[in-house]
Amino acid sequence: MNVMTALQRRKSVRAYTDQPVSHEQIVELLEVARFAPSGVNTQPWQVAVVTGDAKQRIQKRMLAAADAGEKSSIGYQYYPSEWRDPYRARRKACGLLMYSTLGITREDTERQKQQWFANYRSFDAPVMLLFFIDSRLTEGSYMDFGMFLQSIMLAAVDQGLATCAQASLAEYPYIIREELGYDDNVTVLCGMAVGYENKDAIVNSYRTERESVDNFTRFFT
């Protein structure tokens, strides 16, 4: 598969089969992703591969925290404090598309909650990747990290695997630190579900729209 095809096929998958992903497959993804570019070759990425009992412990504690109404303590600001168009409109359209596909109404707050809580289980994918960055690094390294994450996701497409990048898995960083033994010198950046797509799941049947090139590009000669 060429890169152009992989870019178009990659999507955020929110339901997985129980088919296992091998240790060797994950290593292969990381082997190729490590060639992602970074400013002055800083390579700011740190990765935890979480499966089995470790995954069950983390997701159980996250679900309990969320169910108790505990507020996110994510270590950086992912979204703006005030939403403005066109980003506000795109955000709304994204949520409406998922909920309408699933038949979840505005009034059905319980189903909305349960759909959101699926994030903390990595949508039941067999592998949860967690990503960490040295807390002393700044915005440039976050840009570098994004290229590393995209590299993993494109490599996964080439392997026939599905992924979903998840900032939600960074909402309770103290749980991850306690369970995996990381200290406060690193920021829990995000997570990623990895597995095989459940192609029969309705939640995987939609694709969000993308702006045309003409809408975000200016050419100068």
Strand order through the sheet with 46-50: 46-50, 127-134, 186-195, 162-166
The dihedral sign for the CA sequence 17, 19, 23, 29: negative
What's the confidence (pLDDT) of residue 49?
98
Q: How far apart are the first and last CA of the chain?
A: 34
- Hey, what domains does the chain have and what are their CATH numbers? 3-78+119-201 (3.40.109.10)
Residue where the block lists tokens 């178009």? 8
Nearest Cα neighbor of 190 from 128, 138, 130, 135 is: 130
**The residue count for the chain:** 221
What's the confidence (pLDDT) of residue 30?
98
162-199 residue pLDDT tens: 999 999 999 999 999 999 999 999 999 999 999 999 99
What's the confidence (pLDDT) of residue 186?
97
Whole-number Å distance between alpha carbons of 85 and 95:
15
Mean of pLDDT over the chain: 96
What's the confidence (pLDDT) of residue 1?
85
Whole-number Å distance between alpha carbons of 19 and 38:
34
61-78 residue pLDDT tens: 999 999 999 999 999 999
Structure tokens at 176: 């991850």
10-68 residue pLDDT tens: 999 999 999 999 999 999 999 999 999 999 999 999 999 999 999 999 999 999 999 99
Quick check: 205 pLDDT over 90? yes
Q: What is the largest distance, in Å, between two alpha-carbon atoms of the chain? A: 58
Conformation bin of residue 69: beta by default, left when phi > 0, alpha when psi is -120 to 50: left
Quote the pTM value: 0.95
